[in-house]
Each structure stands twice: as structure tokens, then as C-alpha cells.
């Protein structure tokens, strides 16, 4: 996904900073990471408070292979419905931002 499309997804939060990392991209707001782009897919930050919402919406938690065992990370796929509805996308982006703010404390 190109940086312009990523910035558009997160426009409700204001300007984002996009940095290359680990073969993908990190997406930051106010110096806090709130999403990743991995293999063309956007993954939103979640925590114990917001992860149940992502799960209920049919999102998948991102995991990578850590020496034969999956290592689950606090990032979830964007719910499909959000891609067709800017208000829905804004809701999920805000949840990721809130999780990012809580992680910083």
C-alpha cells in the first residue's frame, strides 16, 4: 500500500508519519506507533480493552513464526466493513489510537 493511501486511511487523526521497518511500514501519530503495514495489509494496534471489538468484527490478530511457534503481536487486521465506509474506518483508527495512547502510559 502506498503512503498516500495509508495517510488517507488515518486522516481523521491528522497527519501520520510513515517509516519503513522490518520489510513493512510503521504508522505513527504524535510519535506513537498505532499501525503497521505488512505485505500490503494494514494492521491496527489493539490491547486488552479493544481486542475483543476487533475479534467480534472478524479481524485476525497478527502473528509471525518465532522458531516454529506463532508469536502473537498486538496488531489486528482492519475489519472488512471499514474499507467501504469512511466513518467505520475512522472508528477503527480511533480505537488503534486509543490503544497506542494507553500503551504509552
**Shortest CA distance to 60 belongs to which of 42, 48, 85?**
42
Mean pLDDT, rounded, for 2-18: 94
Is the pLDDT at 105 greater than 80, yes or no? no
- This prediction's pTM: 0.93
Domain hosting residue 46, numbered range: 3-104
Q: What is the pLDDT of residues 29-81, one digit of tens each?
A: 999 999 999 999 999 999 999 999 999 999 999 998 889 999 999 999 999 99
> For position 68, which CATH number holds?
3.30.1460.30
Rounded to whole angstroms, the Cα distance separating 44 from 56 reads: 15
Number of domains in the chain: 1
Q: What is the pLDDT of residues 35-47, one digit of tens each?
A: 999 999 999 999 9
For the chain, count helices (H), then strands (E). 3, 6
Give me the pLDDT at residue 104, please. 86
Rounded to whole angstroms, the Cα distance separating 85 from 23 reads: 29
Amino acid at each position: 500500500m502506498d503512503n498516500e493511501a495509508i495517510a488517507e486511511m488515518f486522516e481523521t487523526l491528522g497527519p501520520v508519519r510513515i517509516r519503513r521497518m522490518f520489510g513493512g511500514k510503521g504508522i505513527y501519530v504524535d510519535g506513537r506507533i498505532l499501525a503497521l503495514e505488512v505485505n500490503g495489509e494494514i494492521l491496527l494496534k489493539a490491547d486488552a480493552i479493544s481486542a475483543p471489538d476487533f475479534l467480534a468484527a472478524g479481524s485476525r490478530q497478527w502473528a509471525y513464526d518465532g522458531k516454529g511457534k506463532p508469536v502473537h503481536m498486538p496488531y489486528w487486521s482492519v475489519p472488512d466493513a471499514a474499507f467501504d465506509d469512511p466513518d467505520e474506518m475512522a472508528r477503527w483508527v480511533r480505537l488503534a489510537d486509543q490503544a497506542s495512547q494507553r500503551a504509552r502510559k
